[in-house]
Chain A
Amino acid sequence: MAQTETLQAGLVLAGFDALREIGGEALVQIVLAQAGEFGLAELANQKDASIPIEQYLRYRDAALDFLGDSFASTAFETGKIVVRMLGSEQLKQMAFLIEQYKHAASQLPVIGQAAVLAAKDNPGKVAAKMKSKDVLLITIERCPECRGLHRQTPFCYLNQGVISEFASAYLHMNVATKETRCMAMGDARCEIEVVAEGGTTA
C-alpha cells in the first residue's frame, strides 16, 4: 500500500510570508480563496506539522495561476524563508554538519550534504555530488516542487532559494544556482548546479 506523501506545513507558511512581502495579507487571502478551504488557522500554529503533498500542490497551483511569471521570485523567496525558519534542533544539526566539513577545500559539499539530509522524510529523492572541482550537482527524483507541471522552462526556484539562503546564512558565501534539467520540462529528474561566486556575505 502506497504511503501518503507529506510535506512540512512550514513550507506553506513560508509561502504565505513570501506572498505577504509582495502584496500583504490581502494577497495571501486571495490565493487561499483560489486554492479552496486550506485550514490556514490550524497551519499558522503548526509549523512542524505535516500536510499531504496534494494540499501543497493546490496552494502552489493557485499561487501560480494568480502570480504568473512572478511566481518564480516568490518561490525563490519562499525557499529563503524556509531556511530562516529552521528550529533550534535543526540549527544544531547544521552547526554539526558544517563543523564536519570545515577543513574542506570547498564548502560546496556541505551544501550538497545538507540538501540530502534535509530531504529525508520528504517526497522525492535528493542526491548530490561534485560534478567537478567547482560545481556541485544536486539531483531530485520525483521532485515535489514541479510535480504535475508541464512547462517550457525550469521551474524549481524554491529549491534554489533554499540553497542560496543556506549558503549565505550558514556558510557566509554567495552561490549561483542554475537548474539545468527539470521534470516539468519532461526530464527524468530535476538537476540544479551550484557554483560559488566571489565574495562572502559575512
Chain B
Amino acid sequence: MTGEPSGVVAANEPKYLVGFTAIGVIVLAAIAYAVRISIDPLAGNYLLTAIFLVANAAGWLLGSVLRRKPHSFLGLLLVLLGDAIFPSNLYAPFLLFTPGLRGRVALSVTAVLLAGLAYHLWNYRRRSLVRFALPFYPYFFACGGMASITLLQFTAGLSMVSVAWLVLIYAAAFNEVSYRLRPEPALHFAIAASVIMTGAAIISAVAFSDRAEGALAAIIAATVLMIVSAVRERRDEPIARVHGLGAWIGLTITFTSLLYYAHSPLWVYIVATGAWTLVLGIVSMLPANEWTEPFLESAWWTEILLATALAGALWQVWMPMVMRTMSGKPLREATTLALLEAGVGLLAVSSWRRRYPAIASTLRGFVANNLLLRLTSYAAPLILILAVAGGWLILHAPEPANVYALLAAGMLLLIVSPRLARHYPPEALDFAGVLAMVFSAFNGLASATLSASVLFAAAAIFLVRYLRGAAVWTFTAFIVLTIGGLALQPMWTPAATIVFLIAAGVIAAASGRVTAVMARLGYGTAHATALLSQCFIEEVEKVVVQRYDLLHELDVFHQPDDVVGEECRDRR
C-alpha cells in the first residue's frame, strides 16, 4: 500500500501496464525455459541460465537500491521481477548442474519447493518487515507442502495410496495448527487448510483408480476430517462455511468413489450426480441452527459447482438436443434426467432465496451472494430447457423436437415470467425463454414457415405483455421478432396478414405511447424521431399498404407521424 490517492494511480496506469506486461513476458520466458529443460535437459545451456540468474540478481539489487526512495515504481517492478523468476531460476541450475539432482525433474522441483518453504517460513516469522502480502503465506505453505508430498511418488517411489495418506496427514496437521494457533490471517489459513484437505480427497480419488481399498479409506477419512472441522468451527461462520464447502466436496467424491467401487455404468454416475445436486439444493433450504449453519450456504455453493460441472461435462450430449446441425449422442435419457434434477434443484433454491434472502457478513459477501443468486436464477431455466428438449425426444413427441420443444418451453417461460415475479426473477425466465425461441427459430430454418411461426409466437407473447403494462423493452422485442418473422415469411400468407393486422391495431390503439416508446428507445431527439417515422412509414406504405387496401383506407400508419410531427413543431 503506497497510500497514493486513486487519482495518482489512475494517472499512472500506462506505466503500470507497461511495467507489469514486461514482468509477465520475462516470467513467461523463464517458465518456458524451465518447461523446455524439463522435457529435454540437453536443451539447457550455461548462457541462458546465467542470463536469467543475472536478471534475477539485478532485479533484486537495483530494486532494493531504488526502493530506498519512497514510491519508486521502477524499484517495485524490479523487486517483483526478482521474486517472480526466482523459483524457475533456482530450478534450472538444480536440474542442469547440481550433483544428485541433475536430470531429475521431480527431485529438482521438490528441492525448489523445500527451499521456498524454508525461506517463507523464516520470512513469515518476521512478517511485519517483509514485502509479501500476508495472504500469500498460508496458500504457499499449504500448496507447497502438498506438492512436495505428492512428488514423493516419483522422488521416493512411494505408492499413490501412501502419498494420499501422507497428504491427508499433512492436511490434518495444517488444519490443527490453523484451528489451535489461529495464525494470521486466520480466514486465509482456514481456507488453505480446507484446500489441502479437499486436495487430499482428490489425490486419494486418483489413487483409487485401481479400486485400492486403502485409497477409499483415505477419501472417507478426508471427508470425515472436513465434516468435523466444519462442526468444530461452527461459531466462526465464514471459516465454518469454507470447511462446510470442503465437506460437501468430500462427500461428493466419496459417493462417486462408492459408485466406482461398485462398477456402476456411466449412466448411473450421471443420474446420481443430478440427484445429488437436487439433494444439495434441498439441504441448503433447511432451517439454520448452530450445528447446521456451516453446511447450508456451502451446500448451495456445491450445488452450483456440481450443476455447472454436470452441464459442462455433458455438453456433447445435450447440444444436439437444441442444435439441429449436431448429430445425437448416447446417454440422452440419463443426461435429460440429470439436467432435470439439477435444474429443479437450482430453480427451487433461487425461488426460496428470493423469499428468504441470506444476510451477508461483509460487503464482499453481499456482492458474492447476489452474483451467485443471479447465476443460480439464470442457470435453472436454461438447464430445464435442455431437459425439456431431451424429454421431448424421449417421449417421441412431434418432430422436429429441437423446434417444437424449445418453442413450447420458450413460450411457457415468456408467458409465466411476469406472473411469477414474486417468486422468481422474471428477467432470468425471459432470458431463457428468448434463447429457447431463438434456438427454435434457428432449428426451423429448414422450413421458413415453421421458423417464422416461432418468431411470430414469441412476438405475440411480448405484444400481450407490453399491452398489459410491461416495460418498454417488451415492445422492442415484439418489433424485432415480428420483423424477423416477416423476413422469413412470404408476404401473402395468413400468418403474415395476422401479424400486420395486430401491428396495425396496436399502433392505432397506442400511437402516442408508441411515439414515446420510440423516443425512449434511443431516438431521443424530435428530429431523429420524426425522420425515423417518416422513413419507416414510407417504407411500410411501399411494402405493405399498397398490398393491403384495407389498411391503406384506415390510414392508421399516418397517425404516429402526426403525433411526431406535432411534437417536432412544439420543440421548434
Contacts and interface: CB of A to CB of B under 8 A. Distances in A.
Nearest to A126: B361
A117 B359 CA distance: 10
Nearest to A128: B359
B357 A100 contact: yes
B492 interface: no
Contacts of A109: 356-359
Interface residues of A, number: 15
A33 B356 CA distance: 49
Contacts of B552: none
B48 interface: no
Contacts of B288: 129-130
Nearest to A125: B361
A116 B422 contact: no
Interface in A94-126: 100-101, 103-105, 109, 112-113, 116-117, 120
A129 B361 CA distance: 9
A103 to B, nearest CB: 5
Nearest to A106: B356
A127 interface: yes
B453 to A, nearest CB: 35
A23 B423 CA distance: 51
Nearest to B293: A129
Interface string A32-73: 000000000000000000000000000000000000000000
B359 A113 contact: yes
B156 to A, nearest CB: 45
Contacts of A101: 357
Contacts of A129: 288, 359
Contact of A113 (B366, B421, B422, B423): B366
Contacts of A113: 357, 359-360, 366
Which interface residue of A103, A104, A127, A130 has the most chain B CB atoms within 10 A? A103
Contact of B355 (A103, A117, A120, A127): A103
Given A103-B421, A103-B422, A116 B362 contact: yes
Interface in A62-94: none
Contacts of B527: none
Interface in B333-361: 354-361
Nearest to B421: A103
B550 interface: no
Given A100-B370, A127-B361, A105 B421 contact: no
Given A113-B366, A117-B366, A104 B359 contact: no
Contact of B356 (A104, A117, A120, A128): A104
Interface residues of B, number: 17
Interface string B402-421: 00000000000000000001
B363 interface: yes
B357 A117 contact: no
Contacts of B355: 103-105
A71 B237 CA distance: 35
Contacts of B358: 109
Nearest to A1: B128
Contacts of A103: 354-355, 421-423
A112 B288 CA distance: 16
Contacts of B361: 116, 127
A130 B423 CA distance: 20
B437 to A, nearest CB: 26
A141 to B, nearest CB: 11
Interface in B81-118: none
A49 B511 CA distance: 53
A116 B360 contact: yes
Interface in A146-182: none
A194 B360 CA distance: 17
Contacts of A105: 355-356
A189 to B, nearest CB: 12
A100 B367 CA distance: 11
A90 to B, nearest CB: 14
Nearest to A132: B287
A193 to B, nearest CB: 14
Contacts of B422: 103
B290 to A, nearest CB: 11
A112 B370 contact: no
A128 B288 CA distance: 13
B473 to A, nearest CB: 18
A120 B367 CA distance: 14
Contacts of A104: 354-357
A117 B360 CA distance: 9
Contacts of B360: 113, 116
A128 B361 CA distance: 7
Central interface residue in B355, B361, B422, by most chain A CB within 10 Å: B361
Contacts of A130: 288, 356, 359
14 contacts: A103-B354, A103-B355, A103-B421, A103-B422, A103-B423, A104-B356, A105-B356, A109-B356, A113-B357, A116-B361, A117-B363, A127-B361, A130-B288, A130-B356
Sorted from nearest, which 8 A-B pairs have the closest CB atoms?
A: A112-B359, A105-B355, A128-B359, A103-B354, A113-B359, A109-B357, A127-B361, A104-B357
Given A104-B356, A112-B359, A130-B359, 13 more contacts: A100-B370, A103-B422, A104-B354, A109-B356, A109-B357, A109-B359, A113-B357, A113-B359, A113-B366, A117-B366, A128-B359, A130-B288, A130-B356
